[in-house]
Amino acid sequence: MRTNAHVHAFGMTLIKQAPPSAKGMVFITLEDEKGFINLAFDPKTYRKFHQLIEGHGFLCISGKLQKASNYHSILVERVHPERRTDIKELPLEKSQEHQQQGLKLKVKPRNYF
């Protein structure tokens, strides 16, 4: 793929970073079954999609592919909301059973803010 190609990615959020020297940029590492990809959010984009980013352990994004030598990242333009109309919810009894067993069903990313 060429630099600045429009791409989509989906994966589990592993790490979030906002280094003071990055002038408001936020960096997130996603993982899927193929490997890792680094995402870069400019301050405006991060503010716009903050609730989706912080509220989910998995993200679906679109943006521009950035390349530098062998390093790849995506400059995020949009975070897509989760839509699961085809998945049935667990009955209340099953959900309570999972809670009693101590199973955590929500994935929380590591946050280095």
Closest listed residue to residue 41, CA positions, set 60, 26, 30 = 26
Q: Is the pLDDT of residue 68 over 80?
A: yes
Query: Domain map of the chain by residue range?
Result: 6-82+89-111
Arch. (CATH architecture) of 6-82+89-111: Beta Barrel (2.40)
Is the pLDDT score of 58 beyond 80?
Answer: yes
Q: Which range is least confidently modeled, 13-17, 31-35, 80-84?
A: 80-84
Average pLDDT estimate for 94-109? 49
Res. 92 pLDDT band, cuts 50 70 90: very low
CA-based R_g, the chain, Å: 16
Q: What's the CA angle centered on 110, arms 59 and 64, to 5 degrees?
A: 35
DSSP codes of every residue in 5-33: -EEEEEEEEEEEE--GGGTT-EEEEEEET
Which pTM value belongs to this model? Answer: 0.70
With 70 as the cut, is the pLDDT of residue 65 above it? yes
The pair of three-digit structure tokens given for residue 23, joined into one six-digit string: 């002038």
Rounded mean pLDDT of 6-21?
92
**74 in Cβ contact with 38 (< 8 Å):** yes
Mean pLDDT of 43-72: 91
